[in-house]
Structure 1
Amino acid sequence: MTSPTFQIEDKLIERDQDPSRYEFRLERTGRQVTVVLGGVVVARSRRVELLHESKHMPVYYFPAEDVQMDLLRPSGRTKDVPVRGTARYFDVNVGTKTASDGAWIHESPIDPAAAGLRGMVAFYWAKMDHWFEEDDEVYKHPRDPYHRVDVLNSSRHVEVVVLGQVIADTRRPRLLFETSLPTRYYFPWVDVRAELLVPSTTRSVCPYKGEAEYWSVKIGDQLVKDIAWVYRHPIPEIPKIENLVCFYDEQVDAVIVDGERQQRPRTAWSKAPVVRTVTES
């Protein structure tokens, strides 16, 4: 499941990682990548390099020749970055629309491992309007080719307990296995106490699964906010979770699989659930 919004370059990924293992690797993806701002193609390249760096999401770097450099203006901001060296930032200007500090260049990488970044241009994902890999739009951040999502049919007996009550109980779950994340259990609606679910306005987007809509659990006057989600229309690569219900194992009272209470995972979503007392209007 997609976590709170990731910001490329400056923010670290909220995942448990072994601090003794540091990875810095550039690779040519072979994909044509396009960046759009204000309806204008700012960059389009079949020669992008994908940077894999520990504790960061992957980042696309574009050859300057494949970027409309006339749309970039130095912002005056610089930042010293380990391995990559000083980053010089640029505002991206398209007509009346400006993405402040929307792009950066490392002109003199300080480590030989980063030499391939010299003079290449990267963009803040969230500051651009649209990103495409070939002709498919991609959301949130680049898709990591080493990040797998597998959905398997199962006959395990899975129960979810919230506020002391069994909210979901199935012997036909679909289990979603995603690199570096806990197993997620997806339930058919008929095996969920749907009368206890309240739709939420919260939405999130995952580049590997699509857009999720959230649901809260209401028991009596207690409301546990945004503890479950559904992908109504997952991306074509992940059709097996369509319109199934999944819960945050980190926040429910318990997840019980084949009679065994599962250990609560520790992830970016390991926080106390938001429980509110509500009154009928």
Structure 2
Amino acid sequence: MSRPRPDPVGPGQESVWDYPRPPSAEVTGRRVVVELGGRVVADSTRAVRVCETSHPPVYYVPREDVAPGVLERGTGSSWCEWKGPATYWDAVVDGRRVPRVGWSYEDPTPGFEHLRGAVAFYPGRVDRALVDGEVVRPQAGGFYGGWITDEVVGPFKGEPGTLGW
């Protein structure tokens, strides 16, 4: 399948089609907040922003910036060709369990060591995810966990017809 035509980029925006492959992973000072069950379950100004061609950014929150006792090991696993084996996490807030709310790389491959133990939350499985106060829109498709904000333009992998990208 050929590469799709990127959406136009406006002032202050970036195209996911300019992101690298393999992905970049850099610590950002942006404020990343995750809310679930009426509580802030993660709040960080030192998340790792991962950008990969055709995907909206994913923010990995250091475990120390996740509220204590919220995460419990979930079921299943997956493999990323770049980052290695993924571990899934459930969130438990006031007795409510949200299965597979996020994932982490407990033993990431070389080059991605700074992701070790940080948790990426699926924005579509929490009440709200925010970057610098902007409410995030989830990446389509259920499998991918990209965070769509006004600063990124697609089209994004995960939408119908994108399987071969």
TM-score by length of 1: 0.43
Counterpart of 2:112 in 1: which secondary structure? helix
Which structure 2 residues correspond to residues 122-271 of structure 1 after superposition, within 5 A? 122-140=120-138, 141-143=147-149, 147=152, 179=153
Counterpart of 2:54 in 1: which secondary structure? coil
| Number of the residue aligned with 1:78 | 77
| Number of the residue aligned with 1:221 | none
Measure the CA separation in 2 of the matches of 1:269 and 1:121.
Answer: 27
| Number of the residue aligned with 1:263 | none
User: How many equivalent residue pairs?
Assistant: 136
Contact in 2 for aligned 1:25/1:113 (Cα 8 Å): no
| Number of the residue aligned with 1:211 | none
Which one-letter code corresponds to 2:149 in the other structure? R
| Number of the residue aligned with 1:169 | none
Please list every run of at least 4 consecutive aligned residues from structure 1 whose deviation after the TM superposition is greater than 6 angstroms.
Answer: none
Q: Offset at 1:180?
A: 5.2
Measure the CA separation in 1 of the matches of 2:47 and 2:116.
Answer: 13
Residue identity (%): 32
Which one-letter code corresponds to 2:45 in the other structure? R
Which one-letter code corresponds to 1:116 in the other structure? H
User: 2:115 is matched with which residue: 112, 117, 126?
Assistant: 117
Counterpart of 1:88 in 2: which secondary structure? strand
Q: CA RMSD in A?
A: 2.7
Q: Which has the larger radius of gyration?
A: 1
- 1:144/1:137 Cα in 2 relative to 1: closer, same or farther (>3 Å)? closer
Q: Offset at 1:64?
A: 0.7
Q: Offset at 1:80?
A: 1.7
Measure the CA separation in 2 of the matches of 1:15 and 1:91.
Answer: 35
Q: Offset at 1:16?
A: 5.8
Q: Offset at 1:91?
A: 0.8
Counterpart of 1:126 in 2: which secondary structure? helix
Q: Which structure exhibits the higher relative contact order, with contacts defined as CA atoms closer than 8 Å and separated by 6 or more residues?
A: 2
- 1:27/1:96 Cα in 2 relative to 1: closer, same or farther (>3 Å)? same
Which structure 2 residues correspond to residues 9-28 of structure 1 after superposition, within 5 A? 15=4, 22-28=21-27
- 1:77/1:144 Cα in 2 relative to 1: closer, same or farther (>3 Å)? farther
Q: Offset at 1:76?
A: 2.7
Counterpart of 2:46 in 1: which secondary structure? coil
Contact in 2 for aligned 1:60/1:142 (Cα 8 Å): no
Counterpart of 1:113 in 2: which secondary structure? coil
- 1:69/1:76 Cα in 2 relative to 1: closer, same or farther (>3 Å)? farther
Counterpart of 2:69 in 1: which secondary structure? helix
In structure 1, stretches of 5+ residues that fail to align are: 1-13, 148-178, 182-267, 271-281
Counterpart of 2:30 in 1: which secondary structure? coil
Measure the CA separation in 1 of the matches of 2:118 and 2:124.
Answer: 19
TM-score by length of 2: 0.70
Which one-letter code corresponds to 2:77 in the other structure? T
Q: Offset at 1:139?
A: 2.8
Which one-letter code corresponds to 2:113 in the other structure? A
Counterpart of 2:21 in 1: which secondary structure? coil
